[in-house]
Amino acid sequence: MSENLPKYLRVKQKIKDAIKDGTIVDKLPGERVLAKEFNVAYMTIRKALNELQEEGILHKTTTRGTFVSHRKMSPKTTNNIGFFLDSGIRQGISSPYYSLVFKALEKTVKKAGFNLLLFSDSEDMNPLKKQKKIDGVIVCCFPRLEKQIQEIKKFLPIVLLDNIASDKSIPSVTINNFNACSESVAYLISLGHKRIGFISGLLDSDVCNDRLNGYLDALYQHRIPEDDSLIFKGDYSYESGEKAAKYFLAMPGGAPTAIMCANDSMAIGAMKVIQENKLNIPADISVVGFDDIEVSARIFPALTTSAAPIEEIATEAVNMLFSSIKGTIIEYKHVILPAKLVIRESASRVKN
Amino acid sequence: MSENLPKYLRVKQKIKDAIKDGTIVDKLPGERVLAKEFNVAYMTIRKALNELQEEGILHKTTTRGTFVSHRKMSPKTTNNIGFFLDSGIRQGISSPYYSLVFKALEKTVKKAGFNLLLFSDSEDMNPLKKQKKIDGVIVCCFPRLEKQIQEIKKFLPIVLLDNIASDKSIPSVTINNFNACSESVAYLISLGHKRIGFISGLLDSDVCNDRLNGYLDALYQHRIPEDDSLIFKGDYSYESGEKAAKYFLAMPGGAPTAIMCANDSMAIGAMKVIQENKLNIPADISVVGFDDIEVSARIFPALTTSAAPIEEIATEAVNMLFSSIKGTIIEYKHVILPAKLVIRESASRVKN
DNA sequence: CACTCTTATTGCTATATAGCAATTTCTGCC
DNA sequence: GGCAGAAATTGCTATATAGCAATAAGAGTG
């Protein structure tokens, strides 16, 4: 339980808590006394107190002591919220999915009188460090930035989107990728499909692995043997969807009768290749996507896909972030929302 | 000489000076080395360095070292730029076109050490008024907000995108919609098309009217009589593209052999309907779009469309805004960039 | 030449301690 | 009670030192 947090930060939190629950009201004991009380070195307690002073929670006067700053609204809030999007994410903020997320976040945040700031054009999270212009940040990134998240978390309220950090103390909002994918594949199976291809994303995140595992789970549930040659490793791009389709169409044993795609972009790419080969969707091959991006309903044939409840995701994430900003402890809170299968025209009963 | 200043402050000043006169350029020696050099304790030099870091003069990275932060920003700036997107614009920031613009703007702005703030979720520009959090704003809106722009302009640097205000003193960056559309239609004519339908956007902005006029101009240039029944008033949405296609396909005189669309979304909507009617694109009907949104190259068949030079637009707009922020007068400057016709698969020679 | 293992460097945390200057509090005297 | 002087308290500066985690650089190794 003794977290890996530096001591002074833990002390700092304890003092914050003590102020909140009224244990400390006005004047704090002297630094030397506090050090004894918390059983840390003098310089350690000083570091904690100094940071609290920086934050405007305490104020100190030499020879008089340290006091709680009783100001209602801390004038420190910038009323800005940051949105950090991993630069490794395809197309960045112009990605059809994340632009929807961004839009929903802005809407939610605006309701509370806040503005939304975008951080998507950097390799790391350094721009967030020492950032005095935001009160908190919603982060969408790959596990590779996890260490940086830990750091940011120390001084900036943070909520994760889509991926869950292995440090489970950071609050997060995700969708149930496993269930959604499993459901989609089960749907295909219910249409009589047995040879079902899967186009995965980059397998470097929970999101991707969950979707793959959902696919595998559905096969397992219906006693369809797993076949590695039916799994194509994509990278979420249209191109990889095209590549995957070419691969499937060229399979010696014949193409699968259905293809499950880990996102809509790859589904669209795959559909293009299938159609270019004069095959009919869904009559010859069924295609199912994931994300329900705007265009999916508009192409021919309209794509059957899983829709994430983006508005809900945004609402949850923003609420959690605001709680965190207000100081309410919401560590360890993880919201998992269900995605919903939207049945359109791109999947149908298998030809016999 | 031994001033009464604390040692760490004197050290701090010395470091500042060293940076100013070029003795220190980029990387500083390690903290332990510096301590020796200045003949103070390790913790003392650390205190000096930390304060300099707080002030944004230095930045430190564990295992890499301490570095001078090279940027000379006037301290008055917030280093934030706003992007106002008229809430009347379809899909807002998740619109495939504007999300590309936004992405390009962020990239450009980041290079200058600025952040980008989104204002898209409001009916008017009130959120911009009294806004102390941005140094300038790039605005994308319909003429209906022109009066508000005048007001904002009084206290905030502003650059218009896409639309030109009738008050020509406000700097703007646009593309040559007239030429681009004229060129596209000329291209269709060169493929032998004579009955060319046009799906317009909402005719309440210059952008739209220019595109329509470009279409008409090409017809005129090639002595093809104008036919009002071939002009369908859309609203930039997929749905209106679908409606338009249904309208064209049901025309008593037969459908046009080609359709020019004022944007890609309507083109995609139209294509869907055409394909649902078992017609072939481009063999039966050619379709040309406008914008070159991401998905246009990925659908089947890949859409022939006009691409706006989005990176250039962003660069121009941001540069102009920065000039304006710095006080350089750039009123009356209007940059008009050419769009480029991207020929793909959705248009071909007319059937005879 | 590529790869692995080791070593060195770096900033960060933490502890212990000492003296300073300013102020408050206590003490004793009248 | 009033007041001067001593003592205690307070936060601040400064030093010295030790170990940590992460990374970069170097040294071997195949």
Q: How far apart are CA B288 and CA B215, in angstroms?
A: 12
Strands B304-307 and B334-337: unpaired
Mutation target to probe the B interface, by most B beta carbons within 10 A, among A54, A77, A93, A318 is A93
Local structure of B189: helix, strand or coil: helix
Q: How many CB atoms lie within 10 A of CB B226?
A: 10
The minimal CB distance from A92 to the residues B103, B115, B116 is found for B103
Strand order in the sheet with B258-261: B231-233, B196-200, B258-261, B286-291, B304-307, B340-342
Name every chain A residue with its beta carbon within 8 A of the beta carbon of B294: 91, 94, 96
Mutation target to probe the A interface, by most A beta carbons within 10 A, among B118, B236, B296 is B118
Tokens of A285: 């091959």
Question: Which regions of chain B carry the CATH code 1.10.10.10?
Answer: 7-68
Q: What torsion do the CA atoms of B112, A116, A97, A86 make, to the nearest 10 degrees? A: 50
Q: How far apart are CA A299 and CA B346, in angstroms?
A: 14
Place of tokens 């936004």: B102
Chain C positions with any atom < 7 A from a protein CB: 9-18, 21-24
Name every chain B residue with its beta carbon within 8 A of the beta carbon of A269: 298
What CATH number labels A177-308?
3.40.50.2300
**Are A174 and A168 within 8 A, CB to CB?**
no
Q: Considering all nucleic acid strands, name the nucleotide whose C1' atom is nearest to the C-alpha of residue A147.
A: D22
**Are B118 and B102 within 8 A, CB to CB?**
yes
The CATH class of the B80-175+310-337 domain is alpha beta
Q: What is the mean pLDDT of chain B?
A: 88
Name every chain B residue with its beta carbon within 8 A of the beta carbon of A120: 103, 106
Q: Tell me the CA distances in angstroms from A16 to A24, A25, A52, A117, A325, one per residue in order.
A: 9, 11, 8, 28, 13
List the pLDDT tens digit at each of the 352 positions of chain A. 345 678 888 888 888 888 887 788 778 888 888 898 888 889 999 989 988 888 778 888 877 888 887 654 455 677 889 999 988 788 889 999 999 999 999 999 988 888 899 988 776 777 776 666 788 999 988 777 777 787 788 778 889 998 776 677 788 999 999 999 999 999 999 999 999 999 999 887 888 999 999 999 999 999 999 999 999 999 999 999 999 999 999 999 999 999 999 999 999 999 999 999 999 999 999 999 999 999 999 999 999 999 999 999 999 999 999 888 876 666 667 899 999 999 999 999 998 7
pLDDT of residue B85: 92
Question: Which regions of chain B carry the CATH code 3.40.50.2300?
Answer: 80-175+310-337, 177-308
Q: Is A298–B272 a contact, with Cβ atoms under 8 angstroms apart?
A: yes
Question: Which regions of chain A carry the CATH code 3.40.50.2300?
Answer: 80-174+311-336, 177-308
Which of B263 and A332 is assigned the larger pLDDT?
B263
Tokens of A295: 């265009």
The DSSP secondary-structure symbol of A230 reads G
Q: Is A298–B80 a contact, with Cβ atoms under 8 angstroms apart?
A: no
- Closest by CA to B226, choosing from B250, B247, B195, is B195
pLDDT of residue B346: 97
Interface of B with A (CB under 8 A): 53-54, 56, 59, 78-80, 91-96, 99-100, 102-103, 106-107, 110, 115-122, 127, 133, 238, 265, 268-269, 271-272, 275-276, 294-295, 297-300, 302
Local structure of A64: helix, strand or coil: coil
pLDDT of residue A301: 96
Q: Which amino acid is present at B13?
A: Q
Place of tokens 């980029």: B26
Place of tokens 């032998």: B192
The minimal CB distance from B294 to the residues A80, A94, A119 is found for A94
Q: How many CB atoms lie within 10 A of CB B147?
A: 13
**Are A159 and A171 within 8 A, CB to CB?**
yes
Name every chain A residue with its beta carbon within 8 A of the beta carbon of B299: 268, 272, 299
Tokens of B243: 């409606």
Q: How far apart are CA A328 and CA B13, in angstroms?
A: 40
> A217 to chain B nearest CA, in Å?
31
A14 touches strand C (CB under 7 A): no
Q: Nearest chain B Cα to A111, which residue?
A: B121
DSSP H/E element including A344: none
> B349 to chain A nearest CA, in Å?
19
DSSP H/E element including A183: helix A177-190
pLDDT of residue B73: 46
Cα B87 to its chain centre, rounded Å, is: 16
Q: How far apart are CA A327 and CA A319, in angstroms?
A: 12
Q: How far apart are CA A236 and CA A224, in angstroms?
A: 26
The minimal CB distance from B94 to the residues A92, A115, A294 is found for A294
pLDDT of residue A130: 60
Q: Is B120–A103 a contact, with Cβ atoms under 8 angstroms apart?
A: yes
pLDDT of residue A2: 43
A184 touches strand D (CB under 7 A): no
pLDDT of residue A73: 42
User: What CATH superfamily is the domain A80-174+311-336?
Assistant: Response regulator (3.40.50.2300)
DSSP state letters, B22-48: TSS-SBPPPHHHHHHHHTS-HHHHHHH
What CATH number labels B7-68?
1.10.10.10
